[in-house]
């Protein structure tokens, strides 16, 4: 697991979401984030948040950003520029509040366990039914990354090379530099348009 993913996961743990109901077994699953895909701790079904959920939140954030920009007294081009600058923080704030207050809309990716005709399956189905009646929240064990390898390889000791387990840094490409420059110029332009009346 990369350092960036660990940082993102530690940030997401600060904003636990409400338990979600598994579409297959109908049990409530704990508030671990379902950002990409999540397995049900009970039946093993695979589900994810619907893309329409994020698009709806983004459109609402855009409307709210336009309203905030209008309320601050900006008009014309400055109105749209200010709305573009504040739409992402607004979207993030609305998303975090919504995830904390309401269960998310999830879609099934892969079906989970379904009971068969064996006695064990019937007993397990009775346990599931009891948990549904209690409306209990089923938790799953957190998956942990393997422990890092602290010992360097013999090549590292002799030649000063990095251990085999250390991932290489991604190369800096011309496209990456061009995208960074374009984004910086776009943000700079919108900031200039917003603050031009004040100068």
pLDDT the model gives residue 2: 60
Report the percent of the chain where pLDDT is more than 90.
7
Q: What is the pLDDT of residue 67?
A: 92
Residue predicted with more confidence, 72 or 162: 72
Which ranges in the chain belong to alpha helices (H)? 3-12, 51-71, 77-101, 119-134, 154-159, 174-195
- What is the rounded CA–CA span in Å between residue 42 and residue 156? 45
30 vs 119, which has greater pLDDT? Answer: 119
Query: How far out from the chain centre does Cα 24 lie?
Result: 22
CA angle 135, 139, 145 (to 5 degrees): 165
Angle between the N-to-C axes of helices 77-101 and 174-195, in degrees from 0 to 180, rounded to the nearest 10 = 110
Mean pLDDT of 99-116: 77
Q: How far is CA 116 from CA 6, 64, 120, in A?
A: 39, 50, 9
pLDDT over 80 at 5, yes or no: no
Closest by CA to 28, choosing from 92, 123, 106, 93, is 106
Using alpha carbons, select from 142, 143, 137, 110 the residue that is nearest to residue 26. Answer: 137
* Mean pLDDT calculated for residue range 35-40: 72
| Residue 137 bridge partners (DSSP) | 28
């Amino acid at each position: 697991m990369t350092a960036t993913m660990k940082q993102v996961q530690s940030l997401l743990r600060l904003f636990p979401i409400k338990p979600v109901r598994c579409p297959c077994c109908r049990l409530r699953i704990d508030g671990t984030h379902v950002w990409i895909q999540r397995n049900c701790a009970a039946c093993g079904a695979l589900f994810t948040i619907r893309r329409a959920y994020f698009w709806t939140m983004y459109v609402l954030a855009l409307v709210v950003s336009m309203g905030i920009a209008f309320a601050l007294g900006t008009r014309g081009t400055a109105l749209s520029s200010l709305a573009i600058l504040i739409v992402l923080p607004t979207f993030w704030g609305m998303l975090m509040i919504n995830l904390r207050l309401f269960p998310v809309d999830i879609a099934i990716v892969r079906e989970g366990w379904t009971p068969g005709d064996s006695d064990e399956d019937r007993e397990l189905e009775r346990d599931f039914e009891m948990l549904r009646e209690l409306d209990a929240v089923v938790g799953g064990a957190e998956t942990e990354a393997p422990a890092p390898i602290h010992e360097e390889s013999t090549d590292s000791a002799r030649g000063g090379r990095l251990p085999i387990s250390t991932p290489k840094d991604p190369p800096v490409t011309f496209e990456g530099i061009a995208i960074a420059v374009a984004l910086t110029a776009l943000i700079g332009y919108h900031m200039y348009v917003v603050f031009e009346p004040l100068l």
